[in-house]
Structure 1
Amino acid sequence: MAGSWREFWNRDSAIYVNDRHRTLHYAGLAEEVAALVPHRRASVLDHGCGEALAAERVAAACARLHLCDGAPRVRAALDARFAGNDRVSVLAPEDLPALADASLDLVVANSLVQYLDAAEFEACLVLWRRKLARDGRLILADIIPPDLSALADARALLAFGHRGGFLAAALAGLARTALSDYRTLRRSLGLSRYGEAEMLARLAAAGFAARRLPRNLGHNQARMAFEARPPA
């Protein structure tokens, strides 16, 4: 049994109920991230990228795509997929400080912050602020509000399953998740949650001008997304 979130993500998990769920999740996310890329010469960091099954779509929209994940198993698969592609680099979190300061036009951290404790999140904010170009943009997405229930997350998954044609698998997957390591870790380690005002205050304290975006990335619109920029 995994004893940390990094160990959990370093092996197969019950988060995706079937291959269709996984494929649709990453395809939709890639389209949304690609739409955020400011120009074709941009350098982009996807921090906490996961399997990034549709990362080719993002790479086609920019000049350089850095895929960063904490799980060695995930990075090995990404390395194999993008071997020989000089527009894509695969990085561990400990590699990020070596990126040139002020070199990134876009940083996306989707479904990452909830797995970081307060000190880890603060360290990431400092790092992102240093690596962003003066006119760069940080997108934090899938932020969990303090009062969001697991039932609301389940309803969002079922709605996604209905739209995507995997509703039966989503129902079965929810039952599996209830018995999985994910539920155990969620109880023991918890997930970091932030209200809108608290997140904006944290971003301001880290030197960003920030706002909440009208919609979250991905299917769960009960969660939040924020845009942060270095001040003009």
Structure 2
Amino acid sequence: MSGQRETVWKELDRLSLLYSDELNSVKFYDKLDYIKNFSKYNEKCKSLTSLPNGERIQKTCARLLTYLETDSFSTNNDNQYDYCLLLNYWVLNNLNIFLYLKNSSQIVPAFGKIEFIWNSFIDDNLQNRRNETCKPIHSIIMDNDWRDRKELYEYYVDYSPIIETVKNYSYTCKEYYHYVESKKKLYEHFKEPCLSKDTNMCPKFYDECKKYDPENVLSNHSCHEYIMKERAAAAPSVLQRVNETVV
């Protein structure tokens, strides 16, 4: 229950940022969430209606198939980011939202059902460009820390737009500074497991993300010095309040 609540608050925190609609992950998820004319694939996803919140899961599946029909992924790996990974996380996150409170034990079987529908759709409808079509990534459902991995990859794909936003709108610097700073715990979570390079413990994309470690990039933000001075000035008053509480 607490994990679900924390995930929701993190998502709301990200979406509350000024110009959050410029973030790559937000734009991609919005594109999926607002897909129209997906009802033609409701029948292919009909088996999912037997699940708790089945109609909503069916719509997620139908949107997925509509997206696969209209969008392809480069076979030359020349996309800057792995949108196929984000697509898989979008599906898994929706299942988590729809099933966690109803029956969390159904999340893994539900992903398996969508995975079967997904692969069958590629074989039946997209044979000519199957190598350019995003496929289900079965392993993500086996990661106990998939929420952390999802959050880390979203931060990675969003970092460049964050920098551009701060450059163009300097008044957003403090807000985005705190947002970047909040990702320190993600890097702390993966730091030790990723020493082994074991993909069961460490995401494959971790090395790409290291360059945006808050420990390395926060000092580059234009408001870093101001925030450090602000915190230094506030420290004595905080200490005084603590001492007064103790007394």
TM normalised by structure 2 equals 0.32
Which protein shows a greater Rg?
Answer: 2
TM (norm. structure 1) is 0.34
- Which structure exhibits the higher relative contact order, with contacts defined as CA atoms closer than 8 Å and separated by 6 or more residues? 1
